[in-house]
Amino acid sequence: MGGRRVTASSIPDATPPVLLVHPGPHGVAAYAREIAAEVLEQEPAARLSTADALAALPAGTPVHAHVTDRLWGSSPEQATRVVVDLAGRHPLSATFHDVPQASDGERNRPRRRAFYRSVAEAARGVAVNSAHERELLREEGVWDGPVAIVPLPVETVGRSALVAGDDAVGVLGFFYPGKGHDEALVATVSAGMTRLTVLGRASDGHAEDLEAFVRRASAAGVDVEVTGWLDDAEMIARARRVCVPVIAHRHVSASGSLTSWIGWGRRPLAVRNRYIDEMAELRPGALRVVDAEVLAAEVADARHDATRTWHGLDPVPFGRADAARAYRRWWSEVFR
């Protein structure tokens, strides 16, 4: 491990751990199911289990879990008890998502740090989705031991074909403060545009924040459309119709919104930070990295030149099969 990016070559012949999956729409749960399905394609002997069915597994059976405190408990403290107890009964490898950082706030930040620290200490191996997150773990005082890096994969959906723009700026994914909607709104106004599309719905507990955002936008002369939940086909169609896709997170762990934009053929305007620079290096040409102070000018340019927001790559580097092979390689090291 040692913090290096896991490669997909030379996979030993070894059975993966039991893959723990959760039901429901949470992004981490959905991602865990996608990776588990791909592992099963490559290794039919792999097994899946839900958290509720763990009691049927013999103690000592290796397991892998995708971990964020919000998926494993109603509070960081409850999630700590659940996952640490799990690691006490089963050798555990864990992929960390939504790692702690300043945007958690002064109340939740230390509680979330404690959760991830406890899981890292109890687990047999820890993985994250970016070198950026590995550094966050160190900077937050969570974990400075070995960490494997398996980037979020991109699955290309169909050919990257230009469609007529709807003259709106688009922000993809659950709405919550810090996701970049405010920055996108400022850029929309400065670029002389009057429409902004929220492709998704409010994250749990943030419906009032979204309502307040819509009111602020209206006062600034911008009409906000909130699509709500859409099935995959509807979301892809809407994302391809947006005039200017924008990624402007103030704080980011790893971004499923970014990989979705790219997979659907779009080349989003992505405000520069450590994670965005890392993803631009992994997938050259798939995103347009911009400095925050020129986002509005870039939005205005993209409004009049649609080619700026379509990458034309097919396939995009590092897909789901690559991620599954990387996990299989890593597990062979963790559980040997």
* Chain segment 303-315, per-residue pLDDT in tens: 999 899 999 998 9
Q: How far is CA 56 from the centre of its chain?
A: 31
Model pLDDT for residues 265-301, shown as the tens digit of each residue = 999 999 999 999 999 999 999 999 999 999 999 999 9
Cα 36 to Cα 237: distance, rounded to the nearest angstrom: 26
pLDDT at 2 over 80: no
Measured CA to CA, the distance from residue 246 to residue 219 in angstroms comes to 21
> In this structure, are residues 113 and 80 in contact, taking their beta carbons and an 8 Å threshold?
no
> Closest Cα to residue 152, out of 253, 265, 68?
253
Handedness of CA 142, 144, 148, 151 (dihedral sign): positive
User: Global pTM?
Assistant: 0.90
Number of H helices, E strands in the chain: 12, 12
Q: Where are the beta strands (DSSP E) in 234-277?
A: 244-247, 269-271
Q: For residue 104, what pLDDT band results from cuts at 50, 70 and 90?
A: confident
Task: Quote the pLDDT of residue 51.
Answer: 86
What per-residue confidence (pLDDT) applies to 10? 45
Between the alpha carbon of residue 125 and those of residues 73, 94, 292, 299, the distances in Å are: 21, 6, 36, 42
pLDDT in tens, 139-197: 999 999 999 999 999 999 876 566 768 999 999 998 988 899 999 999 999 999 999 99
Please say if the pLDDT value at position 83 is more than 80: yes
Give the type of residue at 37: A
Q: Are 6 and 148 in contact (CB under 8 A)?
A: yes
- Asked whether residue 11 carries a pLDDT value surpassing 70, the answer given is no
pLDDT score for 92: 98
Alpha helix stretches (DSSP H) within 264-309: 274-282, 295-304
Q: Order of strands across the sheet with 125-128?
A: 48-50, 18-21, 63-67, 92-96, 125-128, 148-149
b/e burial code for range 115-151 (CB count within 10 A of at least 16 → b): bbbbbbebbbbbbbbbbbbbbbbeebebbeeebbbbb
Q: Which pLDDT score is estimated for 194?
A: 97
pLDDT at 1: 39
